Amino acid sequence: MLTVPPAGCVDVWWLDICTVAVGRGELAELSLEEHKRAASFAFRADRRRYTAAHVMLRRVLSGYLDIPPSSLVFRREPCPRCGKPTGRPALPFGYGVHFSLAHSGDAVVIAVASQSVGVDVEQQPSGCVCALSGDMNEADAEWGRALGEAARHDLVIRWWVRAEAVLKCTGEGIGHGIGSFPVLGSPDGPPGPAVPGGPEQLMAATVVHGCSLISLPAPGGYQAALALAGQASSVRLAVRAPWSSGRRRTARA
């Protein structure tokens, strides 16, 4: 059984949906709600991404809780801003395990901690994303003004994943706006490629909106960020499953 990370620490699991087999056995682990949602996707690739991500989420959490994946029950916390049931997805009260799931393109990232956590990953999108600058906090937008177009696109996506990680950690989501506080701190680039699993790393964090925020090392072509509840100036990160691209392998549908 896996040990839930202590305060200030977070476990991160990277997965490539191309490497996740989704057969009968895996599908049997999902809930009726998850099956219904998967069935309503119009395109096969979206259905597969959703299914693979949720199968892996259940398997990862099962390892910390010693509960079979299919027996896990999820609930939705209320939004701390408006009280509607649109807050963080969560396990039942008393489990002591917090998690966050994000997926984009082929990448799935799951964060597990003993306090509220938010993670986001985005594949560099097609087309120009400069229009999103209008949603940025003024202090963050300022960093992009002197940059060339490609660097500005990188900055915009870095801003987005950092802001979304914070709003997922607090449970507010982006429905109440995404630019009400700055998240960049500095225009530094992403922290390099996704690291192999193994020793924990202590990463300097920026305290934003009640969270300790870091840019997460991510696969090439992706950017990611992670926010942990609290005001700590560092986050201890353990990569339990390193990124391993499965693009050349054959995925079973």
Partner 1 sequence: MTGARQALVLDELRGVLAEVTGRDELRAIPAGTALFGPPVALDSLTGTRLLREVRQRFGVDVAAEDLNLDALATLGTLASFVASRSELPSGRP
Q: How far is the CB of 68 from partner 1 (least distance, A)?
A: 26
Query: Is the CB of 1 or the CB of 131 nearer to partner 1?
Result: 131
We find the least distance from the C-beta atom of residue 223 to partner 1, in angstroms, to be 11
Rounded CA gap, 26 and 71, in Å? Answer: 13
Residue number with CB closer to partner 1 (11 or 164): 164
Q: Sort strands 234-241 and 9-16 into parallel, antiparallel or unpaired.
A: parallel
Least distance in angstroms from the C-beta of 103 to partner 1: 9
Of 77 and 135, which has the nearer Cβ to partner 1?
135
Q: What Rg value do the Cα atoms of the chain yield, rounded?
A: 18
Q: How far is the CB of 198 from partner 1 (least distance, A)?
A: 31
Distant-in-sequence, close-in-space partners of 2: CB < 8 Å, separation ≥ 6: 11, 63, 64, 240
The H or E element that residue 227 is part of is strand 222-229
d(Cα 21, Cα 86) in Å, to the nearest integer?
Answer: 30
Contact positions toward partner 1, by CB under 8 A? 37-38, 40-43, 46, 49-50, 104, 122, 125-127, 129, 131-132, 134-135, 160, 164, 173-174, 178
Across 17-106, the runs of DSSP E, i.e. the strands, are: 75-76, 89-90, 98-104
Nearer to partner 1, 71 or 180 (CB): 180
